[in-house]
Amino acid sequence: MKTAGFVLAGGASSRMGQNKAFLEVDGRRMIEIATGAVWSATGHVAIIGPPDVYSGLGLPVYPDIRAGCGPLAGIETALTHTEADWNIILACDMPHVDSGILRQILDEALVQPEASCVMPESVDGHVQPLCAAWHKRALAAITEALDNGTRKITGSLHGLEVHYLRLWDPIENVNTPEDLARVRNQH
């Protein structure tokens, strides 16, 4: 297997007040939108999150190796469990990300032999590390960053070759009830 995909769904959803993964956008739960897009782009999908919450979805579920340490720990967990070189890692709270965007990111990764990560960047300079392709070789640097107390994804990138892929539209995530209302009204 050359590529794989993972959906991060282990967050506390503290700003939302309830589990974001099960909220609906366009008649589908966000976890289903995310896993469907990742599956379509890679032919493989697993969830990083609590098995007791997500095992009913019929997909492999891996608990965070470091519970409560944020999305960087989720990336570490995904890269620990993967057998693929390149891995799409997508947060479950980006309901407008589709398989076409993920395939574009993955295709760019496959022609970047030295890169450890291919991360989308919007025209306004906003990067989205939770909708990116991560090479398994990034695992050591991520583990070292976590061991040293780093929790911010961009803080773990030192020493990694990161390639930024310019996208015209920003990739939005849903963190608050206001964000949810906005994305529900976009269609």
Residue pair 163/116 in contact by the 8 Å Cβ criterion: no
Query: Strand, helix or coil at 55?
Result: helix
Asked if residue 1 has pLDDT above 70, the reply is no
User: How many percent of the chain have pLDDT more than 90?
Assistant: 66
Number of Cβ within 10 Å of residue 156's Cβ equals 23
What mean pLDDT value characterizes the chain? 90
- 9-54 confidence digits (pLDDT tens): 976 666 667 788 998 888 899 999 999 999 999 999 999 999 999 9
Map out the domains of the chain with their CATH numbers.
3-180 (3.90.550.10)
Phi–psi pair at 92, nearest 5 degrees: -75, -5
Number of alpha carbons in the 13 Å side-chain half-sphere of residue 175: 4
SS3 per-residue string spanning 10-45:
CCCCCCCCCCHHHCEECCEEHHHHHHHHHHHHHCCC
- 47-82 confidence digits (pLDDT tens): 999 999 999 999 999 999 998 899 999 999 999 999
Residue 91: left (phi > 0), alpha (psi -120 to 50), or beta?
A: beta
- DSSP state for residue 162 in the 8-state scheme: E
Global pTM?
A: 0.93
Phi–psi pair at 28, nearest 5 degrees: -130, 145
Output the pLDDT for position 36: 97
**Which of the two residues, 25 and 131, has the higher pLDDT score?**
131
